[in-house]
Amino acid sequence: MVATTTAAVTTAAVSARGVARSFGSVQAVANATLEVQPGTVTALIGPNGCGKTTLMLMLAGLLRPDAGEIRVAGADPRHDAAAVRDAIGWMPDQLGSWDNLTCLQTLTLMGRGFRLSTHEARERGAALLGTVHLAEFADRPTRVLSRGQKQRLSIARALMNDPAVLLMDEPANGLDPRSRVELRTLVRELAAEGKAVLVSSHVLAELDEMVDDAVFMSKGRTLGDEIAAKVADAKTRYRIGTLDDDLLRAVLTEGQIAFDDEPAGMVIRVGSEADAAQALAWLMSKNVPVHRFGPAGSALEQTYMTMEEERR
């Protein structure tokens, strides 16, 4: 690790340390710790019931933790809720909407809640409806929207205050394939603007292309270095598809390269993308007819399945 001066250290946009929350006898979150840096996208991953949504509600200032510390844009939700509300955009799993309000009226009302003038709120709302491809529904009531369209309206609503921190709980639910691609692009653009994004999702293959970091949860606890090592190991797995599997086995064996012989193709481990390029060039020099060479699936998905096996 490269040493840095105090002035160069980046302050986390979202920080949680030892956070816990119970509901009666049910311990929803037992010990959660995470950080999200400005300009990055972090995934929050875990099985149903592991405490992800409860943790996100505490980060949003909508639930008070029983223990631990939370900071959002430097503010403590328990003591400076107004500052946290100004700093975050909150996208819940399901959008609660007013059925008789139009999409533009919904966003305008949200903007007024953030002290924008009516004119400013309408302008920003109209622009965001364009961003999420709902401009044609601006003057239509929200009750006519499909599940996926309501998700897109929820994204727009979460961005009305131009937040420094965006918390998204299952944002891809109900979205069609095109909308999921657009969501990935939008999230990366928001991070490029300097926003800190925390995304909770079960669509792990898509998260691989969206996030910079991942935090795994199980039974109310965030998992640390051990699970991070598993993600790193999964990223080293490259699958090779050939027109001659026997030749590939022989070449790998002759070169003393360890491999896993799997139904979808043989898998080797490489230390970096540069190593992967060298491995492919070497295979081609041995006249192995390679037709597919790349990461062996989603690193996050592979890690999650390992965690699930341990959980049972």
- Span 285-300, pLDDT tens digits: 999 999 999 888 777 8
**Structure confidence at residue 4 as a pLDDT band (50, 70, 90):** very low
Q: Which residue in the block uniquely carries the two structure tokens 């601006």? A: 138
| pLDDT at residue 113 tops 50 | yes
pLDDT of residue 308: 58
| pLDDT at residue 5 tops 50 | no
pLDDT of residue 127: 97
User: Cβ contacts of residue 274 below 8 Å, gap of 6+?
Assistant: none
- Residues 165, 83: contact at Cβ < 8 Å? no
The model's pLDDT over 221-248, given as tens digits with 9 standing for 90+, comes to 998 777 878 888 888 889 999 999 999 9
Q: What is the mean pLDDT of the chain?
A: 89
User: Which domains are delineated in the chain?
Assistant: 6-223 (3.40.50.300), 230-311 (3.30.70)
Which whole number is the average pLDDT over 121-130? 97
| pLDDT at residue 309 tops 80 | no
| pLDDT at residue 162 tops 60 | yes
pLDDT of residue 6: 37
pLDDT of residue 84: 92
| pLDDT at residue 9 tops 60 | no
Which whole number is the average pLDDT over 254-259? 92
CA dist 114 to 15, 79, 97, 104, 138, Å? 24, 19, 17, 15, 20
